[in-house]
A and B are shown apart, each in its own frame.
Chain A
Amino acid sequence: DAGVTQSPTHLIKTRGQHVTLRCSPISGHKSVSWYQQVLGQGPQFIFQYYEKEERGRGNFPDRFSARQFPNYSSELNVNALLLGDSALYLCASSLEYGWRVQETQYFGPGTRLLVL
């Protein structure tokens, strides 16, 4: 079975531009979360979606938005890119949301974004 897939794998943008990152969860998984990982740091939670609804949001500005589609895939959008948005963006999928405290999240390979 395929794991979590993300596209594109790498992306180079300039300040002020907009970017859309895509994620397909593991088949049967209904929850998708997005994380930002800056070099030398652990991943930071951005959003969680379950059944197309936002269930959680991290401490990120409104330039960051996301959505989940009926097939459970998801997009992360970032507007007005800043140099500090350069990072590895990780998508994680899990079977359900929040009902079981030990729900495992499986990560995709990430999209490496460089903002110049």
Chain B
Amino acid sequence: RKEVEQDPGPFNVPEGATVAFNCTYSNSASQSFFWYRQDCRKEPKLLMSVYSSGNEDGRFTAQLNRASQYISLLIRDSKLSDSATYLCVENLNTDKLIFGTGTRLQVFP
């Protein structure tokens, strides 16, 4: 079993839609998680850190469910510019980041 698993998608949604991604992790001792965004042929960029109480930043909300070992990312009012690959990331407390394969989002007009 992979350490971090994501649905690769693609998720094709119209502008204005709400879309949610889930990600499961296998290491119950992991303390922190992140969502990174990666545009085609670019480097990953930090989108959000994921705290136990959830984290909201504008149209983006991330939540952590330790009991079920999954994290989620919710994007409201999708914009064309949200089209990208969203990488779920687990931090094993040593700054070694474990990435999922990414979920591709395509927002269409």
On A, residues with C-beta under 8 Å from B are 31, 33, 35, 40-45, 48, 55-56, 58, 90, 92, 94, 97-98, 101-110
Chain B count of residues within 8 A CB distance of the other chain: 22
CB distance from A28 to the nearest CB of B (A): 16
Task: Give chain B interface residues in 17-60, CB to chain A under 8 Å.
Answer: 31-32, 34, 42-46, 49
Q: Per-residue 0/1 for B80-108: is the Cβ within 8 Å of any A Cβ (1 yes, 0 no)?
A: 00000001000101111111111000000
CB-CB under 8 A from B44, the residues of chain A are: 43, 90, 107
Shortest Cβ distance from B33 into A: residue: A102
On B, residues with C-beta under 8 Å from A are 4, 31-32, 34, 42-46, 49, 87, 91, 93-102
Q: Do the beta carbons of B95 and A58 come within 8 Å of each other?
A: no
CB distance from B5 to the nearest CB of A (A): 11
Roughly how many angstroms separate A44 CA and B32 CA in the complex, as a whole number? 18
Of A45, A55, A56, A110, most B-chain CB atoms within 10 Å? A45
Roughly how many angstroms separate A43 CA and B45 CA in the complex, as a whole number? 12
Q: Do the beta carbons of A102 and B100 come within 8 Å of each other?
A: no
Roughly how many angstroms separate A86 CA and B91 CA in the complex, as a whole number? 26
Q: Do the beta carbons of A56 and B94 come within 8 Å of each other?
A: yes
CB-CB under 8 A from B95, the residues of chain A are: 31, 33, 48, 55-56, 94, 97-98, 103, 105
Roughly how many angstroms separate A106 CA and B49 CA in the complex, as a whole number? 13
Shortest Cβ distance from A4 into B: residue: B43
Q: Do the beta carbons of A42 and B101 come within 8 Å of each other?
A: yes
